[in-house]
């Protein structure tokens, strides 16, 4: 080391070592997890686009058929599928959407005309995003795959924190500001690659931290429970066991009426959703109304638990209900729906940057290794020449 250069502290050297070798160790997994997560961001929009004309009815009529009739029609048209939820739009021109799951075919959506009862389309585009989400969470390898992804996510958190420390200039002046905030596009590839890693890494760091931390909260149940408690909620779900059970001797309150009363209660909401996967065993409807409902999140959501036989609200502990909202907020932050389309765009761009960081970081390390090797070769050649001269 040159005498003019200040010696780095132990903390700086340890931080640099952690940033380098943890990144190289988990680099491939990190690229894969970031890429699959990025592909899911616009899943809801692609699913909507794929549905095409099936999203709208041919003609709006005065009376709607019961959702229960539409459920029977979908099951009749596609006997192998199981219905997991129904989404009804406040817009009378929209069809009713059923989320389905079929063995061997995975996730899909069926669209039914609420006035004629006709099943207009069964679309399996959603299954691509279902697979991507499970690759993102556990590499489609239940158990070990989840732990691999979780460990890689913890490593990425270390990478982000250590990267911010490495990025932070020792002195602030015009040169360090330009080097820290600007990409020199006209420079050589090595410099551009370094700037892509250093500068883009900084600009995406806050959102990347949010995505990483929320991902860990979703993955680790104790962490999720602690988060709910910190923000004043109750993660305990024992209250759900006290909810009424299915009673075959009683007639169920119509789903259409349940959704009508929820839209009346929350006039600004545009969509209503009811879980169907346990409808045969439960005596209540779990209803979510929102301005927009996605695969894993709900914007401006309002939850209600309705007695299946009376249509009346069921009492839910306030802290437990708050816990549900906190969990939804975590999902919104992780999926990028926290600020509508702007939030999704930022999350998508951040995902692309996070995908690139292990790659650009590896190239920085690789090029430095090659530079050191060339320097060593030159030194050996010079020494040999000096020996020949002295002889």
140-183 pLDDT, tens digit each: 999 999 999 999 999 999 999 999 999 999 899 999 999 999 99
Task: Measure the CA–CA gap between 60 and 240, rounded to whole angstroms.
Answer: 38
Closest CA to 225 of 214, 234, 216, 238: 234
Name the CA dihedral angle for 71, 77, 81, 82, rounded to a multiple of 10 degrees. Answer: 10
* Structure token digits, residue 111: 């669209």
Give the model's pLDDT for residue 295: 87
Please name the residues in contact with 339: beta carbons below 8 A apart, sequence gap of 6 or more: 346
Whether residue 340 contacts residue 299, with contact meaning beta carbons closer than 8 Å, is answered with yes
- Report long-range pairs for 268-274 (Cβ below 8 Å, ≥24 apart): 268/300, 269/90, 269/300, 269/302, 270/89, 270/90, 270/91, 271/87, 271/88, 271/89, 271/90, 272/87, 272/88, 272/89, 272/90, 273/85, 273/86, 273/87, 273/88, 273/298, 274/85, 274/86
Check residue 374 and give its pLDDT: 58
Please state the φ and ψ torsions of residue 292, each to the nearest 5 degrees: -155, 135
As a whole number of angstroms, the distance between CA 354 and CA 156 comes to 9
Find, among 374, 202, 24, the residue nearest to 194 by Cα: 202
pLDDT tens track for 369-387: 666 655 555 554 454 455 4
The band of 94, judged by pLDDT with boundaries at 50, 70 and 90, is: very high
CB burial of residue 121 (10 Å; 0-12, 13-18, 19+): middle
CA terminus-to-terminus distance, the chain: 30
What confidence score (pLDDT) does residue 118 get?
98
Q: What is the spatial distance between Cα 114 and Cα 166, in angstroms, rounded to a whole number?
A: 58
**CA–centroid distance for 7 within its chain:** 42
Q: For residue 2, what pLDDT is reported?
A: 47
Q: For residues 137 and 8, what is the distance between their CA atoms, to the nearest angstrom?
A: 38
pTM score above 0.85: yes
> How high is the pLDDT of residue 370?
64
């Amino acid at each position: 080391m040159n005498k003019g250069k200040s010696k780095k502290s132990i903390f700086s050297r340890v931080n640099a070592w952690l940033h380098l070798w943890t990144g190289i160790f988990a680099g491939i997994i990190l690229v894969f997890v970031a890429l699959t997560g990025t592909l899911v961001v616009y899943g809801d929009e692609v699913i909507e686009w794929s549905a095409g004309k099936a999203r709208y009815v041919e003609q709006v009529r005065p009376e709607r058929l019961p959702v229960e009739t539409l459920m029977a029609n979908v099951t009749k048209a596609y006997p192998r599928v199981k219905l997991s939820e129904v989404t009804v739009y406040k817009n009378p021109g929209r069809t009713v959407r059923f989320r389905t799951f079929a063995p061997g075919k995975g996730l899909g959506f069926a669209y039914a005309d609420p006035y004629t009862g006709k099943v207009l389309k069964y679309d399996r585009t959603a299954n691509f995003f279902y697979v991507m989400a499970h690759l993102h969470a556990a590499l489609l390898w239940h158990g070990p795959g989840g732990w691999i992804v979780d460990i890689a996510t913890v490593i990425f958190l270390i990478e982000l924190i250590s990267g911010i420390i490495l990025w932070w200039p020792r002195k602030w002046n015009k040169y360090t500001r330009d080097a820290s905030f600007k990409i020199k596009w006209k420079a050589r590839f090595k410099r551009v690659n370094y700037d892509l890693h250093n500068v883009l890494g900084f600009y995406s760091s806050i959102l990347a931290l949010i995505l990483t931390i929320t991902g860990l909260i979703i993955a680790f149940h104790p962490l999720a429970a602690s988060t709910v408690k910190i923000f004043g909620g109750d993660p305990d779900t024992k209250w759900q066991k006290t909810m009424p059970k299915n009673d075959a001797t009683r007639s169920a309150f119509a789903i259409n009426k349940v959704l009508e009363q929820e839209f009346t209660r929350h006039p600004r909401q545009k969509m209503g959703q009811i879980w169907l996967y346990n409808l045969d065993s439960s005596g209540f409807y779990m209803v979510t109304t929102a301005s927009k409902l996605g695969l894993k999140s709900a914007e401006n959501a309002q939850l209600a638990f309705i007695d299946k036989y009376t249509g009346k609200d069921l009492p839910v502990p306030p802290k437990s209900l708050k816990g549900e909202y906190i969990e939804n907020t975590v999902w919104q932050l992780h999926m990028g729906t926290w600020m509508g389309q702007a939030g999704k765009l930022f999350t998508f761009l951040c995902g692309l940057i996070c995908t690139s960081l292990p790659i650009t970081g590896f190239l920085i390390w690789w090029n430095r290794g090659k530079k050191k090797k060339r320097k060593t070769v030159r030194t050996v050649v010079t020494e040999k020449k000096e020996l020949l001269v002295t002889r």
